Amino acid sequence: MQFLHTLFSHPGMRKAFLAVRVPVVLVALAVFAWFMKTDWLIPAVALSFFGEIIQVWCFASLVKNEELTARGPYVMVRNPMYLGRYFLILGFVMLLANVWVIIAYTVLYYFYMVNRVKREESRLKKLLGEPYTRYCASTWRFLPRLNRLFRSEVWFWDWRVMTSNNGHWNFLSAIASWAVVAAAFWLRPLI
């Protein structure tokens, strides 16, 4: 286990991943389209867009590196964007209809998320100080506190904040990715 924590927190590995992420995503989409099982298509798309909605909501709430964001989904959980991303990608992984692949993805994503969040929270504690420390003490890292769902500050949405965080591009990328999978699926019998 320590090996995976070291691997996911190593600066060289992060840099290498960033350099190859676009080709990796394109290959993954092709693999998913080629091997996907149609039985899982509707739940996979629904789960993926559930995750994307969480991510876009985060983009519409978060003012990065300037202020403590304790509105929108950040009222319920400290790291909602990573949870949204997990579900977004899980939808694609579900297309393979293989429980072992889903478990492997979940384990790998766990190590990615835990190590990424540790680095990020350490940086935010230095940047935002005591207010962030208090926020961390009252808000769970990964499990949403659903009893906070009906607080007024949860229902925050700012279109300008969303576009400044490129949330619209993120949403369009999700749609484009699913369009690629759908096109590849319908073209699969012709190949």
Question: How many CB atoms lie under 10 A from the CB of residue 164?
Answer: 14
Q: Which residue has the higher pLDDT, 71 or 4?
A: 71
Predicted pLDDT at 58: 97
Specify whether the CB–CB gap between 73 and 61 falls below 8 A: yes
Per the structure, how many domains does the chain have? 1
CATH code, domain with 107: 1.20.120
For residue 32, give Cα distances in angstroms to 173, 183, 189, 190. 16, 12, 15, 17
Average pLDDT over residues 89-112: 93
Nearest to 185 by CA among 36, 24, 48, 39: 36
Domain that holds residue 169: 2-190
The whole-angstrom separation of Cα 96 and Cα 188 is 15
pLDDT in tens, 112-156: 999 999 999 999 999 999 999 999 999 999 999 999 999 999 999
Q: Is residue 11 very low, low, confident or very high in pLDDT (cuts 50, 70, 90)?
A: low
Specify whether the CB–CB gap between 78 and 109 falls below 8 A: no
133: which residues sit within 8 A by CB, 6+ positions away? 125
Whole-structure pTM value: 0.84
pLDDT in tens, 21-62: 677 777 777 776 777 887 888 899 999 999 999 999 999 999
Predicted pLDDT at 167: 95
